[in-house]
Chains A and B, each alone.
Chain A
Amino acid sequence: MKKFFSSALAKGLIWQLFGWIIGAVFVTLIRLLMGLKVFDIFFFTEPAWVFGGFIGVLFFIGGSGIVNDWFKWAKGEETSDHHEDPDGWEKYINVSLDHKVIGIQYTITSLFLLVVGGSFALIFRTELAQPGLQFLTLQWYNTLMSLHGIVMIIGILVGVAGVINYLVPLLIGAQDMAFPRLNAFSYWIAVPGIVLLLSSLALGGFDTGWTGYPPLSARAPVGMQMFFLGVFTAGWSSILGGLNLLATTVRMRAKGMVAFRMPILVWAAIATSIITLTATQSIGLSFQLVMFQRLFGMGFFDSAKGGDPILFQHLFWFYSHPAVYVFVLPGLGVISELIPVFVRKPLYGYRWIAMSSLGIALVGFLVWAHHMFASGMNQYLQVPFMYSTLLVAVPTGVKFFSWIATIWKGKIETPTPMLFVVGGIVVFLIGGLSGPPNATVATDLHLTDTYFIVGHFHDTIFGGYVFPFFAAIYYWFPKATGRRMKESLGKIHFWLMTPAFLTLTFLMMRVGMLGMRRRIADYDPALGFAGYHLVMTIAGFLIALSILIFFINFFSSIKNGEKVIGNLWNSRSPEWQVPSPMPVHNYDRPFEVIGEPYDYGLAGSEYIKFTKGK
Chain B
Amino acid sequence: MENNNKADVLNQGVIIFVFLAVLTALEFFVAIEIGAIVLLIIMAIVKVGLVIYYYMHITRLNEDSGDDKHSLKYKTATNRLGLWLFLLSDSFVFGGLLVSRFYLLSLTRPPLNQTLGLIVTSVLLLSSFFMNRAESSMEYGDRKGFTASIIITLILGIGFIAGVLGVEWPSALAEGITPSSNTAGAIFFMMTGMHALHVLTGLIFLSVVLRNGRRGLYSAEKHWAVEAAAVYWHFVDVVWIFFYPALYLIGKLI
Known A-B contacts A278-B92, A300-B100, A311-B100; the reply to A246 vs B179 at CB < 8 A is no
Chain B residues, Cβ within 8 Å of A565: none
Known A-B contacts A300-B183, A306-B182, A311-B103; the reply to A278 vs B89 at CB < 8 A is yes
Chain B residues, Cβ within 8 Å of A282: 92, 96
State the CA gap A285–B86 with chains docked (Å): 16
Interface residues of B in 80-106 (CB under 8 A from A): 81-82, 85-86, 88-90, 92-93, 96-97, 99-100, 103-104
Asked if A179 CB lies within 8 Å of chain B CBs, one says yes
Asked if A404 CB lies within 8 Å of chain B CBs, one says no
Interface residues of A in 162-209 (CB under 8 A from B): 178-179, 182
Closest to A182 in B: B82
Chain A residues, Cβ within 8 Å of B104: 300, 306-308, 311
- How many whole Å from A43's CB to the nearest CB in chain B? 26
Asked if B78 CB lies within 8 Å of chain A CBs, one says yes
State the CA gap A327–B208 with chains docked (Å): 39
State the CA gap A318–B187 with chains docked (Å): 20
State the CA gap A278–B211 with chains docked (Å): 33
Interface residues of A in 73-119 (CB under 8 A from B): 73-74, 76
Q: Mark B49-93, 1 if CB is under 8 A from A, else 0.
A: 000000000000000000001000010011001100110111011
Asked if B42 CB lies within 8 Å of chain A CBs, one says no
State the CA gap A64–B105 with chains docked (Å): 44
Chain B residues, Cβ within 8 Å of A293: 186
Chain A residues, Cβ within 8 Å of B217: 76
Q: Mark A322-343, 1 if CB is under 8 A from B, else 0.
A: 0000000000000000000000
- How many whole Å from B40's CB to the nearest CB in chain A? 23
- How many whole Å from A242's CB to the nearest CB in chain B? 8
Asked if A525 CB lies within 8 Å of chain B CBs, one says no
B92 touches A247 (CB 8 A): no
A285 touches B96 (CB 8 A): yes
A243 touches B97 (CB 8 A): no
Closest to B186 in A: A298
B215 touches A76 (CB 8 A): yes
- How many whole Å from A471's CB to the nearest CB in chain B? 30
- How many whole Å from B128's CB to the nearest CB in chain A? 23
- How many whole Å from B246's CB to the nearest CB in chain A? 16
State the CA gap A352–B181 with chains docked (Å): 54
Chain B residues, Cβ within 8 Å of A289: 100, 190
A246 touches B85 (CB 8 A): yes
B100 touches A247 (CB 8 A): no
Q: Mark A246-269, 1 if CB is under 8 A from B, else 0.
A: 110011100000000000000000
Asked if A132 CB lies within 8 Å of chain B CBs, one says no
B96 touches A315 (CB 8 A): yes
Which residue, of B77, B89, B179, has the highest number of chain A Cβ atoms within 10 A?
A: B89
Which of A182, A284, A298 sits near B93, CB closer than 8 Å?
A: A284
Asked if A239 CB lies within 8 Å of chain B CBs, one says yes
Asked if B244 CB lies within 8 Å of chain A CBs, one says no
A292 touches B81 (CB 8 A): no
- How many whole Å from B91's CB to the nearest CB in chain A? 8
State the CA gap A314–B212 with chains docked (Å): 44
Closest to B105 in A: A306
Asked if B140 CB lies within 8 Å of chain A CBs, one says no
State the CA gap A179–B228 with chains docked (Å): 15
State the CA gap A568–B69 with chains docked (Å): 32
Q: Mark A215-235, 1 if CB is under 8 A from B, else 0.
A: 000000000000000000000
Known A-B contacts A298-B190, A305-B186, A311-B104; the reply to A278 vs B88 at CB < 8 A is yes
Chain A residues, Cβ within 8 Å of B182: 299, 305-306
Known A-B contacts A178-B78, A252-B69; the reply to A285 vs B85 at CB < 8 A is no
Asked if A277 CB lies within 8 Å of chain B CBs, one says yes
Asked if B180 CB lies within 8 Å of chain A CBs, one says yes
Which residue, of A76, A286, A289, A296, has the highest number of chain B Cβ atoms within 10 A?
A: A76
- How many whole Å from B223's CB to the nearest CB in chain A? 12
A292 touches B89 (CB 8 A): no
Chain B residues, Cβ within 8 Å of A499: none
Asked if A145 CB lies within 8 Å of chain B CBs, one says no
- How many whole Å from B118's CB to the nearest CB in chain A? 26
Which of A179, A182, A315 sits near B100, CB closer than 8 Å?
A: A315
Chain B residues, Cβ within 8 Å of A74: 208, 212
Interface residues of B in 97-141 (CB under 8 A from A): 97, 99-100, 103-104
Q: Mark B154-193, 1 if CB is under 8 A from A, else 0.
A: 0000000000000000000000000111111111011000
Closest to A244 in B: B82
Chain A residues, Cβ within 8 Å of B186: 292-293, 298-300, 305, 307
Chain A residues, Cβ within 8 Å of B183: 299-300, 305-307
B89 touches A239 (CB 8 A): yes
- How many whole Å from B227's CB to the nearest CB in chain A? 14
Asked if A281 CB lies within 8 Å of chain B CBs, one says yes
- How many whole Å from B147's CB to the nearest CB in chain A? 15
A179 touches B190 (CB 8 A): no
B85 touches A277 (CB 8 A): yes
- How many whole Å from A436's CB to the nearest CB in chain B? 29
B81 touches A285 (CB 8 A): no
State the CA gap A239–B180 with chains docked (Å): 31
A281 touches B92 (CB 8 A): yes
Asked if A397 CB lies within 8 Å of chain B CBs, one says no
Chain B residues, Cβ within 8 Å of A251: 69, 74, 77-78, 81
A243 touches B85 (CB 8 A): yes
Asked if A279 CB lies within 8 Å of chain B CBs, one says yes
State the CA gap A277–B90 with chains docked (Å): 9
Asked if A531 CB lies within 8 Å of chain B CBs, one says no
B85 touches A247 (CB 8 A): yes
State the CA gap A320–B100 with chains docked (Å): 17
A281 touches B96 (CB 8 A): yes
B93 touches A281 (CB 8 A): yes
Chain B residues, Cβ within 8 Å of A579: none
Which residue, of B92, B103, B184, B215, has the highest number of chain A Cβ atoms within 10 A?
A: B92
Closest to A307 in B: B183
A296 touches B92 (CB 8 A): no
- How many whole Å from A238's CB to the nearest CB in chain B? 10
B81 touches A296 (CB 8 A): no
B180 touches A297 (CB 8 A): yes
Chain B residues, Cβ within 8 Å of A307: 104, 183, 186
Chain B residues, Cβ within 8 Å of A178: 78, 82
Chain B residues, Cβ within 8 Å of A243: 82, 85-86, 89
State the CA gap A159–B183 with chains docked (Å): 39
A298 touches B81 (CB 8 A): no
Chain B residues, Cβ within 8 Å of A308: 103-104
Interface residues of A in 517-547 (CB under 8 A from B): none
* Additional A-B contact list (19), CB under 8 Å, known A247-B78, A293-B186: A74-B208, A74-B212, A182-B82, A243-B86, A246-B85, A251-B69, A251-B77, A252-B69, A280-B89, A285-B96, A296-B179, A300-B100, A305-B180, A305-B181, A306-B182, A308-B104, A311-B103, A314-B103, A318-B96
- Residues of A whose CB lies within 8 Å of any CB of B are 73-74, 76, 178-179, 182, 239, 242-244, 246-247, 250-252, 277-282, 284-286, 289, 292-293, 296-300, 305-308, 311, 314-315, 318
Q: Which 4 A-B pairs have the closest CB atoms?
A: A297-B180, A298-B186, A281-B92, A306-B183
Provide 20 A-B residue pairs closer than 8 Å at the C-beta atoms, listed in order of the A residue.
A74-B208, A74-B212, A243-B82, A243-B85, A246-B85, A247-B85, A250-B81, A277-B88, A278-B89, A297-B180, A298-B179, A299-B183, A300-B100, A300-B186, A300-B190, A305-B180, A308-B104, A311-B100, A311-B104, A315-B100
